């Protein structure tokens, strides 16, 4: 049995992860793909790296762009062969969004998903806090928004419109 | 209940056809919904229908890719979408119906998604791991759609006299397409036996009670039992599908092999 490689080219697993932290979501550029929780695994192979990625929504147009960004990021840093494996199961959930990711979203003006995602919370209505003034007094304008992952809201205190990263 | 007998069918062939039908329902409805972009009655609903369309096209791609692998003749998602003729599509007649007015669109969406969400839930337990994982991903999206269209159905049905009358008419007009969802054939039966696929009788009972509950809240009357249209799943379509396919496939037909 061959041993698991410790490096891909001159990069260690930690180096690869650091590089992936610098790959931004093309639609919400403040978030890295690591913050988003869509990178499920990184596997070093004798001649390259295999990255396991979960799409957020089946039709999300960003999925392919993200995959290309991963490939070019790693190749530019000396990894010869980058393979992307799409992982559908278990399906991606907003629970996988990191705490740093949530803070970044809020600072960017998008309300992060309320915790305890899953079957129930997607269908129930939990209070959505305004990302600017934190009040719970907000109104849903539309269950849909500019990308599949967002809904549109407005704040009843500071009156600013904002987007909500919906729970799924 | 009448006993139905089916001729024996090769089980891999049945699975391929089952997946192709799932892909065709998703693609045709996705294409229909995308026709509403720039012409929905209000901006929020345009966002909603565009989001629905995107989810459906994403689901169609996953089903078609898998169908291509099962068939093992080198066809991929684009071949299924762009290079088949109308009669090779295996979608339900319901999903190819025109968008009509907003009430028609909501009713079509409600009747189909009330079924599709149950079909996907059942498929998460099937023994084909690939279909099960696509279903688990897709069902989350469809639940969100269904909540939205159910709210609209209630708002229109329990709204003004005008909206009530028009949406009741939409329901009466489209009811004849609902029987096809539960009219199983050898593909369903072989898939059920070999891969623990959905029990159509069970889906029909669950669909019926869920639909009745929303109709009651919407103060709408369930149309009486009647003659049901069928044939879409065997490739015999209403006149509407040909126009949809012609528009969708224009580019590939006019410029064969064109790529981005």
Question: Touching check for B136 and chain A: CB below 8 Å?
Answer: yes
The mean per-residue pLDDT over the stretch B222-239 comes to 97
User: Does some domain include residue A113?
Assistant: yes
Which residues in chain B (38-67) have CB-CB distances under 8 A to chain A? 43-44, 47-48, 50-51, 53-59, 61-62
A25 closest CA partner among A143, A165, A129, A153: A165
- Per-residue pLDDT reduced to its tens digit, B129-158: 999 999 999 999 999 999 999 999 999 999
Cβ neighbours of B20 (radius 10 Å): 25
Indicate the burial class of B185 (C-beta count within 10 angstroms; 0-12, 13-18, 19 or more): middle
Residue of B nearest to A89 (CA): B133
- Per-residue pLDDT reduced to its tens digit, B85-136: 999 999 999 999 999 999 999 999 999 999 999 999 999 999 999 999 999 9
Residue A120 has pLDDT above 50, yes or no: no
User: Does some domain include residue A63?
Assistant: yes
DSSP state of A78: T
Residue of B nearest to A166 (CA): B144
Given an 8 Å threshold on Cβ–Cβ distance, is A60 in contact with B58?
Answer: yes
Residue A118 has pLDDT above 50, yes or no: no
User: Does some domain include residue A92?
Assistant: no
Report cis status (omega within 30 of 0) of the bond before A90.
Answer: yes
> What confidence category does residue A4 fall into, taking pLDDT thresholds of 50, 70 and 90?
low
- Output the CA torsion B42→A148→A150→B41 (10° steps): 0
Measured in angstroms, the CA of B11 and the nearest CA of chain A are apart by 25
Last residue of a domain, one of A26, A57, A86: A86
Q: What is the CATH number of the domain that holds A36?
A: 3.30.300.130
Number of domains in chain A: 2
> What tokens appear for B231 in the block?
């044939």
Residues A53 and A107 in one domain: no
Share of chain B above pLDDT 90, in %: 93
E strands present in chain B: none
User: Does some domain include residue A91?
Assistant: no
Q: Residues B13, B15, B16, CA angle at the centre, nearest 5°?
A: 65
Measured in angstroms, the CA of A137 and the nearest CA of chain B are apart by 21
- CB contact at 8 A, B36 and B105: yes
Which three-class secondary structure state does DSSP give residue B252? helix
Residues A158 and A102 in one domain: yes
Beta strands at A150-155 and A138-142: parallel, antiparallel or unpaired: antiparallel
Residues A139 and A80 in one domain: no
State the best of A52, A58, A91, A141 to mutate against chain B, taking most chain B CBs within 10 Å: A58
User: Does some domain include residue A93?
Assistant: no
> What tokens appear for B236 in the block?
């015999």
Last residue of a domain, one of A62, A86, A110: A86
Residue B69 has pLDDT above 60, yes or no: yes
State the best of A52, A55, A57, A59 to mutate against chain B, taking most chain B CBs within 10 Å: A59
Residues A68 and A106 in one domain: no
Given an 8 Å threshold on Cβ–Cβ distance, is A58 in contact with B58?
Answer: yes
Say whether the ipTM exceeds 0.90.
no
Residues A142 and A104 in one domain: yes
User: Does some domain include residue A74?
Assistant: yes
User: Does some domain include residue A151?
Assistant: yes
Chains A, B: CB contacts within 8 A come to 76
Residues A21 and A80 in one domain: yes
Share of chain A above pLDDT 70, in %: 90
| Alpha-carbon distances, residue B172 vs A55, B29, B153, B175 (angstroms) | 39, 20, 14, 5
Measured in angstroms, the CA of B196 and the nearest CA of chain A are apart by 19
Q: Cα A19 to the chain's mean position, in Å?
A: 15
The mean per-residue pLDDT over the stretch B151-179 comes to 98
Last residue of a domain, one of A52, A86, A120: A86
Given an 8 Å threshold on Cβ–Cβ distance, is A152 in contact with B58?
Answer: no
Query: Residue A127 sits in which domain range?
Result: 98-165
Residue with tokens 């290079």: B83
Residues A12 and A78 in one domain: yes
Residues A127 and A107 in one domain: yes
Residues A108 and A46 in one domain: no
- CB contact at 8 A, B177 and B231: no
Residues A82 and A102 in one domain: no
Residues A105 and A140 in one domain: yes
User: Does some domain include residue A58?
Assistant: yes
Given an 8 Å threshold on Cβ–Cβ distance, is A122 in contact with B148?
Answer: no
Query: Where do runs of H (alpha helix) occur along chain A?
Result: 13-21, 33-36, 62-76, 99-108, 119-123
Residues A35 and A58 in one domain: yes
């Amino acid at each position: 049995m061959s041993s698991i490689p410790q490096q891909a080219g001159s990069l260690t697993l930690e180096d690869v992860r650091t590089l992936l932290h610098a790959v931004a979501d093309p639609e919400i550029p403040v978030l890295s793909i690591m913050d988003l929780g869509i990178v499920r695994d990184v596997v070093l192979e004798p001649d390259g790296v295999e990255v396991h990625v979960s799409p957020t929504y089946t039709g999300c147009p960003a999925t392919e762009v993200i995959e290309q960004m991963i490939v070019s990021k790693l190749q530019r840093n000396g990894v010869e062969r980058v393979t992307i494996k799409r992982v559908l199961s278990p399906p991606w959930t907003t629970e996988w969004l990191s705490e740093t990711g949530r803070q970044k979203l809020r600072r960017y003006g998008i309300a992060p998903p309320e915790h305890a995602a899953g079957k129930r919370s997607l269908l129930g209505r939990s209070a959505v806090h305004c990302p600017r003034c934190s009040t719970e007094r907000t109104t849903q304008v539309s269950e849909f928004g500019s990308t599949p992952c967002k809904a549109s809201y407005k704040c009843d205190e500071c009156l600013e419109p904002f987007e909500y990263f919906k729970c799924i | 209940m009448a006993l139905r007998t089916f001729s024996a069918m090769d089980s891999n062939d049945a699975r391929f056809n089952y997946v192709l039908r799932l892909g065709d329902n998703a693609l045709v409805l996705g294409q229909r919904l995308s026709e509403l972009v720039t012409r929905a009655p209000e901006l929020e609903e345009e966002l909603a229908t565009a989001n629905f369309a995107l989810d459906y096209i994403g689901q169609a791609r996953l089903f078609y890719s898998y169908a291509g692998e099962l068939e093992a003749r080198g066809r991929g998602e684009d071949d299924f979408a762009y290079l088949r003729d109308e009669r090779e599509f295996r979608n339900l007649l319901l999903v190819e119906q025109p968008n009509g007015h907003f009430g028609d669109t909501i009713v079509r969406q409600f009747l189909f998604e009330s079924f599709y969400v149950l079909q996907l839930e059942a498929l998460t337990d099937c023994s084909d791991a690939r279909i099960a994982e696509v279903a688990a991903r897709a069902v989350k999206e469809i639940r969100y759609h269904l909540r939205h269209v159910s709210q609209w159905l209630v708002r229109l049905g329990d709204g003004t006299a005008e909206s009530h009358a028009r949406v009741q008419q939409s329901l009466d007009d489209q009811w004849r397409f609902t029987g096809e969802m539960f009219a199983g054939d050898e593909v369903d039966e072989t898939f059920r036996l070999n891969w623990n696929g959905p029990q159509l009788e069970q889906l029909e009972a669950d669909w019926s009670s869920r639909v009745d509950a929303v109709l009651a809240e919407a103060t709408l009357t369930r149309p009486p039992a009647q003659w049901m249209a069928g044939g879409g799943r065997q490739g015999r379509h209403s006149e509407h599908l040909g126009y949809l396919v012609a528009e969708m496939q224009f580019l590939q037909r006019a410029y064969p092999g064109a790529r981005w």
